[in-house]
Structure 1
């Protein structure tokens, strides 16, 4: 069953630059998709249309058959977005406050809020840091806090924009495992990246964007072979002729 559909989506920025050019894609519920592309390919712009942070010049976006443009609030409850810059997403004075921000805005009662915060922090291995100030966290912890804030909203779809950016190896491994766990529990996952090495082995679908358009879409093993022509580095295992191999087990 499809959960998100875009039809002939076009977006032009205020300076006249074309950000998206006739993008038509359907995402099935429970699917794990990686969207790859060089910088400026339109990946982030596309994600921001899926929960109404941007609206198209033409074309449509629907979530569960409902127009995102007509009801962006409903879309944002169903589709959570973790930004590339975790600091820009953190708004609370403590880890607890930040994770509770979304549920509080849903007007849930305090017991429900506490339960969601506890579950979200446990999922990202930050339980016990509820009273810590976010600016005292490491880069990897901030990224996981941003994920927790989205998880606490209980969305059906998780969008993650370059989730491994500026993370060291241990932090990257934790985020990868978090993404895998979310998919195993039934979440629809859409991850954008220009670095396929870390996550492609776990994805069911690979969409490639260039100049605001979809240029490839299919099973990762069938798409990844010619990906260099779009300015994307293929996984080392593919270059060595070993096929797609997991970066972490």
Structure 2
């Protein structure tokens, strides 16, 4: 089976010369739920931002068989939904409906299709009835759900999350993890939340100093105390 994500020899340096990624190669099959873990500055977010063309490094990336390049960028950004750590980076309209509808409208969909997409996305995150609410008046957990809905309205096959449980209280965190368990898409999640990793992602990849240092079953990796310690995870 062709992988849904294939990264080959990806390297990236910031404009100041700092090497953020070094020869990253990673294959992801459809339906997998994978955690990216590692210390601050390991390259987790930088890797995620390559998957829909925010950053462009040296190497090859294929998503659903499409090579990531300028010609395919529009299709790639519909195929891969990126949910930022801070939902305020994703919500900018005066109503939830406008935020969730933005992607389908931008793609030129007719009003009936836009309406259907918004309703389906809000239902998927258990936020029916919030369409006319102002996003800025919502709780942190509610904002996270709406941010996910803005991506789901594009019907992506891959969802990429940067620290999804960051800043949430225990109840909102638990509810978000339960939501992520329900989603059928392939998930790639950058996080420091190892408790969530144990619950949610059968496979874990450790990054450190821009390189993959471990990739395997989550339970095996989380049992390896030395591996976790030397990579800043204990």
TM-score interval for Structure 1 and Structure 2 normalised by the shorter chain: over 0.9
Equivalent-residue separation in structure 2 for 1:94 and 1:199 (angstroms):
33
Q: Which runs of 5+ in 1 are unaligned?
A: 234-249
Aligned to 2:66: 66
> RMSD of the TM alignment (CA)?
1.0
How many residues get paired? 229
Task: Select the residue among 197, 208, 211 that pairs with 1:210.
Answer: 208
1:91 shift after superposition: 2.2
1:37 shift after superposition: 0.9
TM-score (normalizing by structure 2): 0.95
SS in 2 for 1:111: helix
On the 8 A contact 2:100/2:153 being kept in 1, the answer is yes
Equivalent-residue separation in structure 2 for 1:154 and 1:31 (angstroms):
17
Aligned to 2:188: 190
Q: Which runs of 5+ in 2 are unaligned?
A: none
Please give the per-residue CA displacement for 1:22-42, whole angstroms capped at 9, x wherever unaligned.
100011011110110111000
Equivalent-residue separation in structure 1 for 2:106 and 2:23 (angstroms):
34
1:78 shift after superposition: 0.3
> Are residues 1:55 and 2:56 paired?
yes
1:189 shift after superposition: 0.6
Q: Within 5 A, what are the aligned runs for 1:101-180? A: 101-180=102-181
1:174 shift after superposition: 1.5
Please give the per-residue CA displacement for 1:183-226, whole angstroms capped at 9, x wherever unaligned.
xx3x1011110121123222121000000100000111122223
